[in-house]
Structure 1
Amino acid sequence: MPFRGLAVGRPEEVTHPDTLKAALAEGISTLIFVFAGEGSGMAFAKLTGDASSTPAGLVAVALAHGLALFVAVAVSANISGGHVNPAVTFGALVGGHITLLRGILYWLVQLIGATVACLLLDFTTGGLSTTAFSLSSGVGVGNALVFEIVMTFGLVYTVYATAIDPKKGTLATIAPLCIGFIVSANILAGGAFDGASMNPARAFGPALVSWTRENHWIYWVGPLIGGGLAGFVYELFMISPEPTHEPLPSHDY
């Protein structure tokens, strides 16, 4: 059941070469993802004047995020697990698939990677401002919070089913593609309402660089609840416990 493998970890784990290599992979992958995702919105805004309020802009941003996340997960999956998202790391922590100390290190480098990506965008675009996530007109705080919980639940549930579950088998080969697809689909579903973050690091980088704090807590609380809930549900109902006895021969049934 969930929490059976929850562990704080030993201090020496944080400085172990394998952990540091995994953390570096997470930071680079998050930078790749946020640079392409945020950059796509900025590019569309420059070309059309508004990237968020048109159907074409929403599709373009959703596609860019899905493709970028597919690559970011694929290039780090064998090194760090390809989390690229504090909510995914939290979901893995809830299920006992990562220690708390390693998780904190992942969170730190994910936030740094996202921030560096936004600083690079600010520099390379000649000072165009990154855009923090915000609520659309008519969308309340409660609406946006539920949106983030549900969308992140779907994302982390997909991660568990395709990348974490011991029974995933050959499905693991398309895990990055599935993860990219669900993020694109969720952006199409929720992007017009609250931006569809599903990722505290993805929200943190633009908010910090543009120094925008309004309703920023939603993009932390919602994804962490959704990610933790997905880890809890999958571990409780979907992952079979280890057998405690030898299976009976078929003729005994």
Structure 2
Amino acid sequence: MVAVSVAFNISGGHVNPAVTFGALLGGRISLIRAVLYWAAQILGAIVATALLRITTGGMRPLGFSLASGVSEWHALLLEIIMTFGLMYTFYATALDPKRGYLGTIAPLAVGFIVGANILSGAPFDGAGMNPARVFGVALVGWRWSHHWLYWVGPFIGAGLAGLIYEFLLIQPETAPHTHQPLAPEDY
């Protein structure tokens, strides 16, 4: 919630490459802006994880892993579902042009869905949802187990949510009907 809040006035709250991908597919940001956001998100995650390693006396981050008995395909499905919910929430509160006052609670709503996803998903696969965050931990801790699913799942989930919300839920703006007065010869 805090990360989205502090980034809201700068990037619209984009702190997650998957969310940026969903906004890109929905046409809410340009490809150039998305690439710049992705670079910043990944760099930020690497720096944050490196600082965490330094401040903990060199402890190596554990990284993300699957619980015993959880297959990669189940974890992939979980990542898709969790990130779909995250992107849907982001769209409804931060991107929907008709959100009105709801936009003021976007960071809080995003924080709540991320918290709920962590509580429900962490016991199974660590609840990645954010490829940059997972990448920073994997790089600094040099732990790459099942890393692909923490990119593929969130990108599929956010992409689906972005497309569905943009093209099925946001109704296209229609021009207001204006009455044209009749010309004198039409009377």
Q: 1:129 and 1:247, CA in 2 relative to 1: closer, same or farther beyond 3 A? A: farther
Counterpart contact for 2:92–2:99, Cα < 8 Å:
yes
Instruction: Write the distance in 2 (CA, Å) between the matches of 1:172 and 1:185.
Output: 20
Alignment-derived partner of residue 225 in structure 1: 156
Shift of 1:137: 0.2
Alpha-carbon RMSD: 1.2
Counterpart contact for 2:64–2:145, Cα < 8 Å:
no
> What is the TM-score when the length of structure 2 is the normalising length?
0.93
Of residues 85, 93, 97, the one that matches 1:154 is 85
Shift of 1:170: 0.5
Instruction: Write the distance in 1 (CA, Å) between the matches of 2:68 and 2:168.
Output: 38
Instruction: Write the distance in 2 (CA, Å) between the matches of 1:72 and 1:110.
Output: 11
Instruction: Write the distance in 1 (CA, Å) between the matches of 2:172 and 2:16.
Output: 27
Structure 2 unmatched runs, 5+: 180-187
1:166 equivalent to 2:88? Answer no
Higher relative contact order (CA 8 A, sep 6+): 2
Counterpart residue identity of residue 101, structure 1: I
Larger radius of gyration: 2
Following TM superposition, where does structure 1 have runs of at least 4 consecutive aligned residues deviating by more than 4 angstroms?
none
Alignment-derived partner of residue 99 in structure 1: 30
How many residue pairs were aligned? 179
Matches within 5 A, 1:195-214: 195-214=126-145
Counterpart residue identity of residue 115, structure 2: S
Identical pairs, percent: 63
CA offsets, 1:29-52, max 9 Å, x none? Answer: xxxxxxxxxxxxxxxxxxxxxxxx
Instruction: Write the distance in 2 (CA, Å) between the matches of 1:76 and 1:208.
Output: 24
Instruction: Write the distance in 2 (CA, Å) between the matches of 1:75 and 1:140.
Output: 36
Structure 1 unmatched runs, 5+: 1-69, 249-253
Alignment-derived partner of residue 86 in structure 1: 17
> What is the TM-score when the length of structure 1 is the normalising length?
0.69
Counterpart residue identity of residue 59, structure 2: L
